[in-house]
Structure 1
């Protein structure tokens, strides 16, 4: 008889493996997970999973870019091996990576390094000082540009800068300041560079403002397409500059916890606009998962433009980092109701027929579509057309969406739900809420937008910012607004009845956006088998004062289980 001597250390290891397998089986996880299988472990924290039970855990493990296990420190520690990177959270909160459901991020990246950001100024003087700093570090003759991302409500003066103020900054640099899509202000050098003088006639869709002596004031106003065309007069940056700007913008979004975004297309994006993004994609340097929609750029020839794109761009073409997701948010320019508050929208019969043709084409070929509508009466007219298309070519499986919609009625939301459409909501009223209240009145403003009504009726809501020209890109500003309904001034615009909980807002910014692109089983929550896209926060989103949610930033951002951004104490 042979006596086998088994060392106690070996027995302990076997017992550990048996215990781990029992735990995994209890969680319906494959029992072939072994000690040391985790590439990374985050422990001793507060893991907000956003699973169906709203579970919170202490720790999670990552393997091959996906969530391997969530649980207690004791449970997850069993997966640590000699090659596992262990990240001590020290009680910090972890959330699923944020996904901006509607942002113009591709366009923003192209010029990010070249533009001056006014998103955080509180006075015109602060903005002017940023321009002075830029002028000191910019060669004479080169443009100084603020391409939006700020609103007059955020500055103490409540206005845009004047020609005189911009001329004081520099006579050697043309200066361009854009406010939303309703105003551009140029200095004298900028007017000269654009070939505009006191004798220049007003353009068809715009106006060069003059004073009482018929002298130019530097102010230019006009329609949205006109403002687009004015911006396009600015010199185009080199390809390398656009690549570096796109890369820097990705880092900035990582700092704010964005692990993905859905680009809403819009004006000014042409095939060549995507080339810098494609280079970063090919080189494996993207910081976010990017899903993009494409808008036709030629008013009156929208169907022709869309057909050309569709000839070589199949729905869903791309990979898990970059993917084409459909057409919008502009699909027919004549059906775009702009951004003005309280203006009645009356599209022509031609525009309606054009939308009917475009929507029919996309539905027949199974493309996703998102479409812009700020006002309920605009959405109602759009839905009339979509419902007509749906009779012959059902869209319920295509995940079409309407974006914006501050004053949508329950009737409109129910029509959207019947078509299985989603609703894209952005925080424009954080910046323009006071104007909205004054123009639309208290009754409508208190329900703008009617978030709880949408959720009650089962709509998927995807949250975002609509950055970067009409608003800043900070997702935590948007999350704060979703929760407290306040404008930038601190005025309560949306009432409690239509505001949402912190968890509901977070689900809109994660799962809602993932649903738009058919990825709710891959993204949007920290559950086993999903991509390990996550954010370690500077403060606890669930408990910080709701008026301070906007101050939260990321201390560490992971995409696909890899660290793409880290600040102290985890990195730089």
Structure 2
């Protein structure tokens, strides 16, 4: 078989490779040929895989011979869901994840980091300060960050500390004034504005639909030079994680315009798939007709439409069929969360997107939100429920077994989020109870139903760390050392498929990406160890050594 592949490749590509990789484990993720001794590329495409003796027949005087020195070559990782557009700004923001990902262990630590950041960066008074990764569930003794804390620490700067869910943030008084949030501001449907006890004054935390105008008003790069610099800085975060295709999960019209400009300027070093947010759908479609979707232009592809049905379980804004055990974000009793948009609007938007023939991504965390989507799907496509639309339910974290059955019946893709078993499992246990926390992100059951499940980081909600994500799916261990849902563990190979070939399927790119197969793009990553051979608990220690996009190295460790 290897000889046939080599002969076909040689006939099609002039018989000489640009580079040949050998001398380590080459894991193809291709079930027809799982491992090979060597791989050859030419003009950014894989032209041969197989025995080293056969592949070296494609060696010429200019061929680069790449000795892996015992390291492991894999397909480049594909990002099933993150918020790429935020990467363009967070490279210059303060990271405040809770340990071990960051220093934000309590309010005092957050305030100290903010003050040091402003002093070290010598940021002028009046300049907006942004930080990300605030995890209220990780705060010691339940003491949460508020407006007064930020006012005392940084009285001369507007400050936003973005919630780890990326569905909101804590603002100080100057930031609240900047975005015109006052005691008279009415909380919008599907939104949260936490008020100071005994008053109507906003106390800092703004979430969900109430946060959308703030998010839309945040500063973005403007000049060509700023756009190129921000794009390449953000994409280096992905390349460092071994990612060659990134996902922009909720693109506003201004974001689409910025990404298109960056693409025209030649700034992209990786591929970016952007999903237009529901609020801006008509505006984007007016300038980008449906026929323009699904095609890369300068490494940017408009992938489809994004609909958000609920919020985040750790922020207590995910929508459930039963109450939270700990009440709502402001202590509301019998709190089940609230939908971001009403069911009638979900039905309308889903039908509209289906009628346009565009792929649809839906954010749904809680089981009641998933019920809303399934009802909308049945409303929108009663005569074609199982059509291959590549409809993807992003997160699907608290999906029930009966809902997974419908996913399989209706040809729906679940993109799960196993990092929650590490970062937020204790919070889910407190908020939702042990039984539901044990079944969070049931990848084993999804795979056993034949679903092409994918896995994601939801960056910047969780750090951009694909090996840690794989570790979380394989081990399902929490930050506190407890295993949640041992029966939902998956194998390392299944986990790798959920971040390579299954993601390629999610984007209708399985013919060009996701495996190390002849004819596919030479999008590859080199790791210092083989995830299929190390002990499962050691997977998170594996280091990305090099990331290669279409045959060109875009990241190398230590450089």
> What is the TM-score with the length of structure 1 in the denominator?
0.83
Task: Report the equivalent of 2:46.
Answer: 67
Supply the distance in 2 between the matched residues of 1:232 and 1:305 (Cα, whole angstroms).
15
Gaps of 5+ in 2: 322-335
SS in 1 for 2:11: coil
> 1:413/1:141 Cα in 2 relative to 1: closer, same or farther (>3 Å)?
same
Q: Say which of 302, 324, 328 aligns to 2:306.
A: 328
Q: Does the aligned pair in 2 maintain the 1:183–1:220 contact within 8 Å?
A: no
Structure 2 residue 355 is matched with structure 1 residue 364: yes
User: How far 1:455 sits from its partner (Å)?
Assistant: 0.9
SS in 1 for 2:292: coil
Q: Say which of 256, 260, 276 aligns to 2:258.
A: 276
Supply the distance in 1 between the matched residues of 2:556 and 2:64 (Cα, whole angstroms).
15
* Equivalent residues in 2 for 1:129-528, closer than 5 Å: 129-136=112-119, 137=121, 138-146=123-131, 148-153=132-137, 160-161=144-145, 166-167=150-151, 169-179=153-163, 180=165, 184-187=169-172, 189-191=174-176, 193=178, 200-201=183-184, 203-205=186-188, 206-207=192-193, 209-210=195-196, 219-239=203-223, 240-265=225-250, 269-297=251-279, 308=286, 311=289, 314-319=292-297, 321-330=299-308, 335-336=309-310, 339=313, 340=316, 343-344=320-321, 351-392=342-383, 396-426=387-417, 427-468=419-460, 470-495=461-486, 497-528=487-518
SS in 2 for 1:32: helix
> 1:309/1:484 Cα in 2 relative to 1: closer, same or farther (>3 Å)?
farther
Q: Say which of 98, 113, 117 aligns to 2:95.
A: 117
Cα shift readout 1:397-444 (whole Å, capped 9, x = no counterpart): 221121212222222112122222211112334321111122322222
Supply the distance in 1 between the matched residues of 2:196 and 2:369 (Cα, whole angstroms).
34
Task: Report the equivalent of 2:28.
Answer: 49
> 1:38/1:132 Cα in 2 relative to 1: closer, same or farther (>3 Å)?
farther
User: How far 1:483 sits from its partner (Å)?
Assistant: 0.9
> 1:343/1:361 Cα in 2 relative to 1: closer, same or farther (>3 Å)?
closer
> 1:381/1:329 Cα in 2 relative to 1: closer, same or farther (>3 Å)?
closer
Supply the distance in 1 between the matched residues of 2:6 and 2:88 (Cα, whole angstroms).
45
User: How far 1:545 sits from its partner (Å)?
Assistant: 4.0
User: How far 1:44 sits from its partner (Å)?
Assistant: 0.7
SS in 1 for 2:278: coil
Task: Report the equivalent of 1:9.
Answer: none
Supply the distance in 2 between the matched residues of 1:415 and 1:151 (Cα, whole angstroms).
33
User: How far 1:484 sits from its partner (Å)?
Assistant: 0.8
SS in 1 for 2:59: coil
SS in 1 for 2:404: helix
> What is the TM-score with the length of structure 2 in the denominator?
0.85
How many residue pairs were aligned? 529
User: How far 1:477 sits from its partner (Å)?
Assistant: 2.4
Supply the distance in 2 between the matched residues of 1:420 and 1:215 (Cα, whole angstroms).
47
SS in 1 for 2:414: strand
Supply the distance in 1 between the matched residues of 2:72 and 2:456 (Cα, whole angstroms).
22
> 1:536/1:158 Cα in 2 relative to 1: closer, same or farther (>3 Å)?
farther
Cα shift readout 1:90-131 (whole Å, capped 9, x = no counterpart): 10011111111111112x134234322224314346544543
Q: Does the aligned pair in 1 maintain the 2:276–2:304 contact within 8 Å?
A: yes
Q: Which moved more, 1:48-57 or 1:118-127?
A: 118-127
Cα shift readout 1:141-188 (whole Å, capped 9, x = no counterpart): 212111x33424556676554556545654433222122356633345
Q: Does the aligned pair in 2 maintain the 1:98–1:257 contact within 8 Å?
A: yes
SS in 1 for 2:425: helix
Gaps of 5+ in 1: 1-21
Supply the distance in 2 between the matched residues of 1:264 and 1:452 (Cα, whole angstroms).
25
* Equivalent residues in 2 for 1:80-119, closer than 5 Å: 80-106=59-85, 108-119=86-97
Q: Say which of 8, 12, 15 aligns to 1:29.
A: 8
Q: Does the aligned pair in 1 maintain the 2:26–2:38 contact within 8 Å?
A: yes
Q: Does the aligned pair in 1 maintain the 2:147–2:204 contact within 8 Å?
A: no
SS in 2 for 1:86: strand
Task: Report the equivalent of 1:10.
Answer: none
Cα shift readout 1:37-58 (whole Å, capped 9, x = no counterpart): 1111222111111111462233
User: How far 1:504 sits from its partner (Å)?
Assistant: 0.3
Q: Does the aligned pair in 2 maintain the 1:112–1:245 contact within 8 Å?
A: no
Supply the distance in 2 between the matched residues of 1:35 and 1:557 (Cα, whole angstroms).
26
Task: Report the equivalent of 1:17.
Answer: none
Supply the distance in 2 between the matched residues of 1:511 and 1:444 (Cα, whole angstroms).
29
Task: Report the equivalent of 1:5.
Answer: none
- Larger CA Rg, structure 1 vs 2: 1
